[in-house]
Amino acid sequence: MNTALAVCHGSFGRVTVYRLCRPMRTHAHREGHLTFHLGGPPAIVTIDEVPHRVDQIGGVAINPWQPHSFHPSPGDEPSVFLVAYLSDRWLDRDQQGRGKLRFGDNAIRVGATIGAIAASLADALVSGANYRVVDRGLSQLFDASFDDSWTNCDRAELRARPAAAIDYRVRKSLHLLDHGLGQGIELNAVARDAGLSRPHFFKLFRENTGVTPALYANTMRIERALDRLMGSQASITDIGYELGFSSQSHFTHFFSAHVGIAPTLYRTIARVVSE
């Protein structure tokens, strides 16, 4: 059974220490994403259909909106991972534009420095560290991982590129998806309302966003679920209904497959730290 040893939310985003032995389906995040192995058997994280081994000598850095999935080693022995989701606004707090930068390579080599930072941060999280400690550890981990990700890549690509304009029909479909999470989204209807055929809609949406409409909608559901779990006293059942699920069990299965643990456990373990 998957479980969490620590979940911490703050202006940096969220960072977790997970014990995992079950797979997580393909999903994406708005934030940049780091995963490092802390103990137990290795795992495979597949990013844009490319498998990456996560073990004592290798972690992964995932850029915003890159589709990825998690596959544990065969068997029931769980492994422990440090998983961080880093907010662009937090990365940009020093006004140096770090939040606009992207990892050069998904594979991160875990040498002595990165391994020590990840282990120290995980220990701090499990022991209930304050904001200052978590903030410093995450900043060190991002900087070291970012530098490593560009070691074998062309540094000319490092400069942040201006965001490409999104087709107005895709912008309309994003609005429809964002506001239809609780009504049961029908993608054919979204395509029709955006003035596109279904094949053209899927092709244009992926070209503009990097993900499929269904993956985008699922990401928004998870974000909304996390906001409601952490920022309200609403029951798990009510949160599921708000997001268009017919029962608590359906919502719990969806949440667990995308986040790694059940929403009830997430709410019990998660804490918010502030400056």
Residue-range domains of the chain with CATH: 3-157 (2.60.120.10), 168-272 (1.10.10.60)
Strand partners, 69: 46
The residue ranking higher by pLDDT, 178 or 257, is 257
Q: Summarize pLDDT for 106-163 with one digit per residue, the tens.
A: 999 999 999 999 999 999 999 999 999 999 999 999 999 999 999 987 666 656 555 6
| Res. 18: pLDDT tops 60 | yes
What is the full DSSP assignment across 203-225?
A: HHHHHHHSS-HHHHHHHHHHHHH
Could you tell me if 218 and 185 are in contact, meaning their C-beta atoms sit under 8 angstroms apart? no
Alpha-carbon torsion (213, 35, 61, 89), positive or negative: positive
CA 29 remoteness from chain centre: 4
> Average pLDDT of 203-217?
92
| Cα separation, 271 vs 15, whole angstroms | 10
> Average pLDDT of 233-259?
93
- pLDDT given at position 98: 74
- pLDDT given at position 161: 57
How confident is the prediction for the chain on average, in pLDDT? 91
pTM for the structure as a whole: 0.91
* Helix/strand/coil for 23: coil
The crossing angle, in degrees rounded to 10, of helices 198-209 and 168-179 is 90
Residue identified by tokens 């937090």 is 90
